[in-house]
Chain A
């Protein structure tokens, strides 16, 4: 599978309060959440972002609150994947559990500029910045996480395993 999209660039330590503010957590409806994505940093973001776009960010993306509403809102807004220097631990788990694709590559995160067109081969983690003509390798996805993806997420994985037992 190959993803290709336009890049929106963010800095270090993008916290989940900024991704989706707590005042909107009176619902878990993905559509409603997606309307307020990144609002406190860029009130227009939800109207500018197009399906298939890619977020590129610095270190510790998704730090702070454990709210799964954050990856849910990002996915619903149409973001195809996130490339970051590093991800906060809970966000990392939540992304896999909710089926949001994430890639860790400090080199790509630092080099890729906003507005660039980037493609990613999901299986290999090969990242190509088509605008700048540069390629990067994302950290390989651990086998266990691949198994989760193959099963369709954590819940199907757990339920399948339970049936087997």
Chain B
């Protein structure tokens, strides 16, 4: 019986020739990560355990990205906990302001997560790294505390669902639209406890940025991990970044899937997820008249350079509706600099957008653009739960960067083709 890419990575890290869905295994990890919200709990548990040292200071990443630059005294204390722990244990991958970016954009960009890795993170969007052909999954702070001590985690081998996308994408249709469409189809628990393996010629034609967008949102369908087989696109992304060995795994042709879903991607239009679940998706042509107060372009899902370029393509030579606030958040300092050097900032500023330093910020209602009661935002982020971006009486609509930019210009939800 053949193995899926996920099963092969899990087997290789558990010292087995093969693994079977449902089997409980212990795997050695290549990286454990946590952020300024989740790491303080892990660190407290670590210190209570009175263990002298972490299993490997090169294999832990602490990224204060959620409430930074620190929005208040309490969040400053949380970052301080990370900073002090990182210094004490000589953690290699601790990122101070200036080098810090949104963790799931930053770690692949810096070559810290690589194909074939097992990565566990105290952040649900850790599943992003599946885009590189790694097994990556989110956990809680206690799991990460244990992993920081032992370098291992226990896992139940998941069943895999194969998603096959074929056809050429229409103009303004992106990885974000494929994943929103898919979640709209299978629901927010449609892949509960399972692997989402994204395949097909449409996926093969996508760049790494779009692939990461797709993989980030596997959790929004309840999945344990999302994964895309590495190829030449992956190789050209990682080879200049990697400072250690990595390995490409592929699913066998006779690998076992619990389900196979096929989509004609050429028929998918830009998608919008209406409040308050990512599964409440509609094509942009069915969005109706939804006035907005704010548009946010950023996050681990859509804050990469390609996302900013797409927004700039729409915003160039235009200004946003005076009733709308457009907040653009380059996800990392490198992206920030590249966007600036390419002249994107000039386009954004002329359009009357504001450019934020890298942070998760408003995605989770932290800071840098929190919503008032009754306000509506369109956002390239990943969740539109009740109160996600601020007041429980506010609303979040999810879309790709082109739709978010076009909506900021229109003053209501709409696509670039309406401009």
Contact = CB atoms under 8 A, between A and B. Distances in A.
Are A and B interaction partners?
A: yes
Given A66-B38, A94-B140, A158 B122 contact: no
A66 B122 contact: yes
A23 B386 contact: no
B189 A64 contact: no
A5 to B, nearest CB: 25
Interface string A36-50: 000111000000000
Contacts of A142: 24
Contacts of B366: 22-23
A23 B367 CA distance: 9
B138 interface: yes
A88 B192 contact: yes
Interface string B45-83: 100110100000000000000110001101100100000
B37 A25 contact: yes
Interface string A117-147: 0000000000000000000000000101000
B37 A67 contact: yes
Given A93-B139, A155-B45, A65 B74 contact: no
B124 interface: yes
B124 A86 contact: no
A3 interface: no
A162 interface: yes
A24 to B, nearest CB: 10
Nearest to B70: A26
A105 interface: no
A72 to B, nearest CB: 8
A4 interface: no
Interface in A1-34: 13, 15, 17-18, 21-23, 25-28
A162 B138 CA distance: 24
Interface string A69-97: 10110000000000000101110011001
Interface string A50-71: 0000000001100111111101
A65 B364 contact: yes
Contacts of A66: 38, 121-124, 126, 138-140
Given A65-B124, A89-B192, A90-B140, A154 B146 contact: yes
Interface string B29-49: 000000001101100110011
A60 B187 CA distance: 11
A88 B187 CA distance: 13
Given A18-B386, A26-B72, A64-B124, A93 B189 contact: no
B388 interface: yes
Contacts of A63: 188-189, 222
A154 B37 contact: no
A28 B142 contact: no
Contacts of B45: 155
A18 B114 CA distance: 34
Contact of B38 (A68, A89, A93): A68
Best-surrounded residue of B71, B365, B370 (most CB of chain A within 10 A): B365
A97 B140 CA distance: 8
B149 interface: yes
Best-surrounded residue of B124, B149, B370 (most CB of chain A within 10 A): B124
A158 B222 contact: no
A107 to B, nearest CB: 18
Best-surrounded residue of B24, B141, B365 (most CB of chain A within 10 A): B141
Interface in B380-405: 383, 385-388, 392
Given A60-B189, A67-B38, A155-B146, A40 B138 contact: no
B145 interface: yes
A26 B75 contact: yes
Contact of B149 (A15, A67, A162): A162
A154 B9 CA distance: 24
A97 B38 CA distance: 14
Nearest to B188: A13
Contact of A90 (B49, B139, B154): B139
A5 B270 CA distance: 48
B219 to A, nearest CB: 8
Contacts of B40: 28
A94 B188 CA distance: 19
A153 interface: yes
Contacts of B44: 28
Q: Which 9 pairs of residues, A with B, have the shortest CB-CB distance?
A: A26-B74, A94-B140, A40-B392, A97-B142, A40-B387, A60-B189, A68-B140, A22-B364, A66-B124
23 contacts: A13-B189, A17-B385, A22-B66, A22-B366, A23-B366, A26-B75, A27-B74, A59-B189, A64-B220, A64-B383, A65-B383, A67-B37, A68-B41, A72-B41, A86-B189, A86-B192, A89-B192, A90-B124, A94-B142, A144-B154, A154-B146, A155-B45, A155-B49
